[in-house]
Each structure stands twice: as structure tokens, then as C-alpha cells.
């Protein structure tokens, strides 16, 4: 991270992952491409909502939209996003541990 950089684009990118249902949609695509209805079934979210999240993920360049006949398939472009998510999970766990330790240290 450079000193006087604009953090707007980076913040926008993080924002992509800052919504629970959007993470669920992304996870639904973890094991391969799915069409919209399949994502709807897998997540239990409404069709309109799934379409919205898929569009956002597409615009962000995280997934790719591929129409096939009457269906539209979506696929994760760079598997690295799952590393990012995994790393965030790690940090989250670590920070929880730390907070418990800090709490315990009060006694």
C-alpha cells in the first residue's frame, strides 16, 4: 500500500465480498459453473436477488457470464478469490482468539 494512493478502487473490490448473500452466491460457484436457477436452488435466495449479485460479481470481474441457449452460466474467473476469502477467514479466527485472550488477561 502506497502512501498517497487513492484507496477507492481497492475499497470497492473489498465491498464485493462484504455481503453475506453475495458470498453465498460466490461459494455456490466454487465447484464449477452454474446457471442462475441452479444458484437459486443451491442458495435458497430469490431469483431477482441472485441475478443482482451475479451481475455485481460479473462487473467486478470476479465471475464470467456465459449464455448457453436459454440458460446463462456463471463461472469464477480467478480461483484466487477463494484464497482471499480463506485468508480473511484465517484472520477473522485469529482476531477472535486474540480478543478472547485479551479478555482472559483481565482476570
Partner DNA sequence: ATATGGCATAACGACATCGTGATACTACAT
Partner DNA sequence: ATGTAGTATCACGATGTCGTTATGCCATAT
* Interacting residues toward its own copies by CB under 8 A: 1, 3, 6-15, 17-24, 27, 30, 60-62, 77-78, 80-92, 94-96, 98-99
Residue 86 near DNA by CB under 7 A: no
Q: Around 44, how many Cα atoms within 13 Å sit in the side-chain half-sphere?
A: 1
- Select from DNA, its own copies, none the partner in contact with residue 72, using the beta carbon and a kind-dependent cut-off of 5 to 8 Å: DNA
> Rounded to whole angstroms, what are the CA distances from 90 to 12, 48, 58, 86, 97?
22, 32, 26, 6, 11
Q: Give the residue with the Cβ less far from DNA, 71 or 94.
A: 71
Amino acid at each position: 500500500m502506497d502512501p498517497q494512493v487513492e484507496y477507492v478502487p481497492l475499497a470497492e473490490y473489498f465491498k464485493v465480498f462484504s455481503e453475506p448473500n453475495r458470498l453465498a452466491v460466490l461459494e455456490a460457484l466454487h465447484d464449477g459453473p452454474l446457471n442462475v436457477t441452479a444458484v437459486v436452488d443451491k442458495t435458497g435466495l430469490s431469483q431477482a436477488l441472485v441475478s443482482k449479485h451475479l451481475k455485481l460479481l460479473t462487473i467486478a470481474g470476479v465471475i464470467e457470464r456465459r449464455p448457453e441457449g436459454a440458460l446463462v452460466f456463471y463461472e469464477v474467473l480467478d480461483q484466487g478469490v477463494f484464497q482471499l476469502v480463506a485468508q480473511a477467514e484465517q484472520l477473522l479466527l485469529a482476531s477472535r482468539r486474540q480478543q478472547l485472550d485479551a479478555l482472559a488477561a483481565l482476570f
